Amino acid sequence: EVQLVESGGGLIQPGGSLTLSCTASGLTVSNNYLNWVRQAPGRGLEWVSTIYSGGPTYYADSVRGRFTISRDNSKNTLYLQMNSLRAEDTAVYYCARSTRHVDTTMVEYYYYYYMDVWGKGTTVTVSS
Does 5 interact with other proteins (rule: CB under 8 A)?
A: no
Of residues 77-96, which lie at the interface with other proteins (CB under 8 A)?
Answer: 94, 96
Contact present, 49 and 22 (Cβ < 8 Å): no
Cβ nearer to other proteins, comparing 29 with 37: 37
* Nearest one of 1, 17, 23 to 119, comparing CA atoms: 23
Q: Please report whether residue 64 would count as binding other proteins according to CB under 8 A.
A: no
Q: Which of 108, 109, 112, 128 binds other proteins (CB under 8 A)?
A: 112
Q: Please, is 1 exposed, middle or buried when counting C-beta atoms within 10 Å of its C-beta (0-12, 13-18, 19+)?
A: exposed
Binding residue (CB under 8 A) for other proteins from 45, 53, 66, 68: 45
Q: How far is the CB of 78 from other proteins (least distance, A)?
A: 14
Q: Is the dihedral of CA 87, 91, 101, 79 positive or negative?
A: positive
